[in-house]
Amino acid sequence: MLININQMNELKQVNPAMVDEQQYNTLVASYQQYSGNLYTLQSGLETARKEYKKGLSEYNDGLKEYEEGKEEFDEKIADAEKEIDDARVEIEDIEEASTYLLERDTNVGYVCFESDSTIVGAIANVFPVFFFLVAALVCMTTMNRMVEDQRTQIGVLKALGYSNGRIMLKFISYSGSAALIGATVGFVVGTIAFPKAIWYAYQMMYNAGGINYYYSPLMLTVSFIVAFVCSVGVTVISCRYEMGEMAASLMRPKAPKAGKRIFLEYIPFFWNNLKFLRKVSLRNIFRYKGRLFMMVLGIGGCTALLVTGFGIYDSIADIAVIQYEDVSLYDMDITLKDGADSEVQVLKNYGYDTTEYIPYYHTSVDLKAGKNSKNIYLNVYEDDVNLEGFFDLHTEAGEPIYLSDLKHNEVVISHGLCKRFGIKKGDTITLSSDDVAPVEVVVKAINENFINNYIYITRSVYQSTIGKLPEMKNVYLNIKEGEDAHEIGAKLMNEKSVTAVNASIDMLERVENMMKSLNMIIYIVIGCAMALATVVVYNLTNINIAERVREIATVKVLGFYKEETRAYVFRENILLAIMGAAIGLALGKLLHTFVMSEIIVDLITFDVNINPLSYIASFILTILFTFIINMLMGKKLEEISMTESLKAVE
């Protein structure tokens, strides 16, 4: 193109007419555009070469970094694969794990809750009998008194031609309405208020939800039937005797009960030293046999309930203290990952020597005694073990038991299971498990133990009866004085060689807190006993005063002061209360024994006893409450007019 332009320039200089001006201009414009594009292309090419060199340099640097990273990555992959291979070898070396199926009764919280529930159930099976019996006696006394007061009206009605049934209907409707109202109120309170009160106490100790109301038609029907039998049935019995008399006889006042000598009068050295008013009180007490029986039985029932309530508390409340302060003396029970020899290295690292801990073997076996079978813990100790300071093996009588005395196939077993299954010293029992073939052993001794059930043997006994003893992985530990059990336990749990740590103080506090819920039950029992005493004492005192209005008025006419009159009347109540309370103490012992026999919990054996202070408290509360009722009834004596003494019986 440049050649063409030059040629045209030369022709244009020679002969301008020979050159096409338009073609010339077009060619020049094309050349200028070509030159511009060529310059742009050359500039872009130079820039591209520079960028290419820079990119090639970066690529080489990246490739070098990649090669170095790949080499490092390959090394890590190789190390990881080696670790995986080592881990696979370790996994292959791990022993096959044992599977344990734990039922709910192995949980302390569940066992304690079951214990509390069983106590309530046992009380509920016994207490209604007392209340229904006393209700029947109260109804009998009240209706007898009511019929006697209305003898004249009954005689008039019979003379007017009313039948015995129509007359009796009046008294039946009275007692029946009382039974209906009382049974309704009692059913509502008994099925709503009492369960909620007890459940509220349980919720302070257990993580439990709300309680649902349960309506039982059968319970309602039985309650109403018993209430009507105790009231209406007693009314019918009370009325039948009076209805058998003639109308004329009924319209005349009933002859006073004839007086006679009482058995105390045949004891001269006692009777002759009594003052006159004391003799009168004793004669009145034994003169009215029905009132005597009613008062003594009612007050005795009140005292028996108190003794039973306090006795239940005494038998249960201190179980944890007795177990972990008198029987299980160790501070910690430690489970190790591997077996322990005479020296436990992890404990040695913390400064403990062999006098402060004892290794032993712990497992569970199935015990069979006759037709009974039960899963029980088995503890195996060295032949020369000295348990002093760790575990106090002793009989219920307090006699020490030494494991070194055990021979070929002899064992020591906890007393709770023995009582339940009737196992005695010298009996033969069978032990077995998935890993142990059935073997027969002889009960050498029975030790006192309250929480869980155990069999204790030595290494030689185990090997001679069962076989080779596995590694001992459990350890009793007594921490040093001044050390904190929780702090030591936390440190031990951080050790790889330790799998579990159980501190005795934790178990003690846990069981004690759970047993505090029993206080509500004791309060309910005491409240019911006091209500029972109120009904009995008030009812009989009211009847006693009503029967002796003329006598009391005469005493007031004779110049007795207010306090002397009260003492004259209420002295009999106090004496009857003392007699009833004395009988109630013995009755309460029997009732407590029966209630405790109904409380059966697999892992807890209760210390069935009643403290002397409980007997004293029950006796004093009964007398004190009777005295308070007498004080409240004193106003009724003041309302008696002295003119009553001038009225004739007719």
314 and 345 co-located in one domain:
no
628 and 563 co-located in one domain:
yes
Mapped onto helix, strand or coil, the DSSP state of residue 388 is: coil
308 and 166 co-located in one domain:
yes
Is 80 exceeded by the pLDDT of residue 97? no
Q: How confident is the model at residue 204 (pLDDT cuts 50, 70, 90)?
A: low
Return the pLDDT at 258.
66
126 and 246 co-located in one domain:
yes
Q: Is residue 262 part of a domain?
A: no
Q: What is the mean pLDDT of residues 293-304?
A: 82
The Cβ of residue 108 has, within 10 Å, a number of other Cβ atoms equal to 17
155 and 223 co-located in one domain:
yes
Whether pTM > 0.75 for this model: the answer is no
Q: What is the mean pLDDT of residues 617-625?
A: 88
Return the pLDDT at 615.
92
324-380 pLDDT, tens digit per residue, is 888 888 888 888 887 776 677 788 888 888 888 888 888 888 888 888 888 888 899
Is 60 exceeded by the pLDDT of residue 273? yes
Which one is predicted more confidently, 331 or 639?
331
79 and 124 co-located in one domain:
no
355 and 424 co-located in one domain:
yes
Q: pLDDT > 70: what percent of the chain? A: 84
Best-predicted range by mean pLDDT (275-279, 328-332, 519-523):
328-332
Euclidean distance between CA atoms 23 and 296, whole angstroms? 152
Look at the chain and report how many structural domains it folds into: 3
Q: What is the mean pLDDT of residues 136-161?
A: 78
313 and 249 co-located in one domain:
yes
Q: Is residue 525 part of a domain?
A: yes
463 and 399 co-located in one domain:
yes
298 and 400 co-located in one domain:
no
105-132 pLDDT, tens digit per residue, is 666 566 666 666 776 776 777 777 777 7
Q: What is the mean pLDDT of residues 433-441?
A: 84
Which one is predicted more confidently, 216 or 335?
335
Is 50 exceeded by the pLDDT of residue 6? yes
Euclidean distance between CA atoms 334 and 582, whole angstroms? 51
Q: Contact, 307 vs 618, CB < 8 A?
A: yes
374 and 336 co-located in one domain:
yes
Q: Contact, 498 vs 337, CB < 8 A?
A: yes
Q: Show Cβ contacts of residue 418 under 8 Å, excluding neighbours closer than 6 positions.
A: 424, 443, 446
Is 70 exceeded by the pLDDT of residue 544? yes
Mean pLDDT of the chain: 78
Range of lowest pLDDT (197-201, 389-393, 472-476, 480-484): 197-201
Euclidean distance between CA atoms 461 and 463, whole angstroms? 6
CA-wise closest residue to 302 among 643, 599, 631, 591: 591
16-48 pLDDT, tens digit per residue, is 655 566 666 676 667 667 666 776 777 777 777
372 forms beta bridges with 369
459 and 553 co-located in one domain:
no
Euclidean distance between CA atoms 295 and 537, whole angstroms? 7
Alpha-carbon distances of 316 from 115, 205, 608, rounded to whole Å: 9, 16, 8
Domain end marker among 478, 506, 535: 478
Q: What is the mean pLDDT of residues 527-546?
A: 77
Q: Record the tokens describing residue 346, joined without a space.
A: 């992890």
Return the pLDDT at 596.
80
Is 80 exceeded by the pLDDT of residue 585? yes
Is 60 exceeded by the pLDDT of residue 568? yes
Domain end marker among 478, 497, 522: 478
Q: Is residue 326 part of a domain?
A: no
Q: Is residue 600 part of a domain?
A: yes
Is 70 exceeded by the pLDDT of residue 227? yes
Q: How confident is the model at residue 582 (pLDDT cuts 50, 70, 90)?
A: very high
Q: Contact, 356 vs 480, CB < 8 A?
A: yes
Structural domain harbouring 370: 332-478
Is 60 exceeded by the pLDDT of residue 176? yes
Q: Is residue 276 part of a domain?
A: no
Range of lowest pLDDT (31-40, 181-190, 236-245, 634-643): 31-40
Euclidean distance between CA atoms 621 and 629, whole angstroms? 12
Is 50 exceeded by the pLDDT of residue 2? no
Is 80 exceeded by the pLDDT of residue 463? yes
Q: How confident is the model at residue 559 (pLDDT cuts 50, 70, 90)?
A: confident
Q: Is residue 178 part of a domain?
A: yes
Which helix or strand (DSSP H or E) is residue 33 part of?
helix 21-93
Q: Is residue 164 part of a domain?
A: yes
